[in-house]
Structures are given as C-alpha cells and as structure tokens.
Structure 1
C-alpha cells in the first residue's frame, strides 16, 4: 500500500496536467514493452508490436504516448541571450485575422468607397465588378457587358475613362498610403 500511495502521489503531483492512475499504469506497461520491442523497424511497426503485446489498439498506445510527452511553456525564452523572445511570440492562430490587418483593410475599403463615390454610379459599379472590389471575384469585360447590356468594348471605354478620372491628384492622394 505504501508503494501504491507513492505511485498515486507521483501521478497526481508530477505533471502540470494530472494523469489518471490507470493511464499512468498503462504508460508504465508501454514503457516496459518498448524495451522489449525492436525499435529499428520504425515508429509504426514499434507501435503495432507494443499494441499486440499489451492487447491495446495502436491508436490507444499512440494516445497514451502523446499524453506522456513533456510540457513546454510558451513563455520559455527561445534564446537565453537574445531580447527575451518566447516561443509564444512566434506562434500565431491563423484562424483569426490580426487586428492591425483588419483595421488597415477596413480603412482601405472605406477610402476606396470614398474615391469611387466621386465617379458616376455606372463607372463605380463597373470598376467594382471589374476588379472584384465588392468582395466577389473580378469579372471579365464580357460578363460586365452582359450585366449592363453593353458591348465589352463600351465597358472597356467606361473603365478606361473612370481610371483616368481616378488618376486625378486629389483622388490619388487618398489611396497613396496603401501603395508600396
């Protein structure tokens, strides 16, 4: 019972995330089986042999081994002598847009809308469709012509005239900050 109490205390206190006693026992069994198995055949073969020896599924063995890995804090400095960068500084959640990027994109959209508002409604709509400024894909001259019941040549002329009007310094100054 003393040995069991020590094992229980080690399981409960030795990790950042507590490992249940039955999982700790399975981990001990897997470690013993690992010493018996030839590891030179590759990780998948080793897992298959361990699972066969212990009457466990390969996925279960893999899960137990993944659970047993050491934790690494995201606040640990990457380099001891460099300006204190941590692992967390280099990780990014790509599912979410960065606030700065979102703000710049919104400002650009507002400025484009303001500049296009200085054109005629038809010119603005044609430029939005042609360059995909409405959030959709960019359309061809023919597709836009079909929408407006005009030839693609006439759409090209309207587009060219609208772009020429946008090149006016008063209108250009509003968008210059976005051009690198």
Structure 2
C-alpha cells in the first residue's frame, strides 16, 4: 500500500491511499475476476478506512494474473541471509528484501542496486550531499509505483526538481535495470 502523507508539527499524517497492490495465491477453480472482487470486498474494505480511498486510488489486484502455483514450487532459493550487511549496515533504510539466493530479475536485488546507483549519481553530480532513494514496485507492473527522494536538507534543489532529473536520466523499469 502506497500512502500519501503530510508532515505537520513533526507528525506524519496519512492523507490518502495512492496505490494498493495485492497478489495472493489461490485455488485453480477461482477465476481472476472473482479473486479481484473478493480482495476488494474482504480485504480492502475490511482493512483500509474508506476516508483514505478516492477516485484516484490505483488498484493492482493480482496484476500478474492468476496465481495458482506458489510457495517452494513457484519460487525457491535460499534467501534472507545478511540483508543489512549486504546494504548499509543500519546507516540507511532497507526495504527488507534479501539479495542472496535471488537472481537478477528480482527487484529486491536489482532495484536496490539501481537505487544505490541513482543516489551515488546525485551525490557525485553535487546535486546533494546525502540522499535516500526509495523505489516501489508491484509484480506485473512495468513502471515503479513510486520514486521518492529525501535529501536530509543537503540540496539546493527541491526534491521535486531532483525527481525530474532522476526521471529524465534513469529508467527504473525492472526489464531495463537488468539489461
């Protein structure tokens, strides 16, 4: 779930839900449309307060289609080892995905490297001294759901201006990252 927040007197307050992504393994007898309807009724309506949903909310429900084969049969490997050591050792934020045991097509690995590349490039170009780059993806969706930057006040440019630079110079689609 991607949520838009505002900062007010040091507090972070949710304003609206921008995007909801749900992929759930299901029985082969359930159609895709029935599964999407069930997710709307039994998950979204039960979990997300209606005041945060609006006509602009984007829904990706089973975006890669039917999800009948899952678990070890659908995705096997030894993952979850040394996730913090592999990245920033507690200095920077981490999305929780592991690198080990995953091939380059998994965004927890390839997009983490791409986000690091973006951050290093912004600092190297002297557009900021420090930056946190956050990229969010959904399975089956080509473009990132969101790209955000936080410069810790180290840039003369606004984060919106920096995002325009990033969007113009970096293609963060998974299929492009892995080329």
Q: TM-score, normalised by structure 2?
A: 0.26
**Rg (Cα) greater in structure:** 1
Greater share of strand: 2
Higher RCO (Cα < 8 Å, 6 or more apart) = 2
The structure where helix makes up a greater share of residues is 1
TM-score where L is the length of structure 1? 0.26
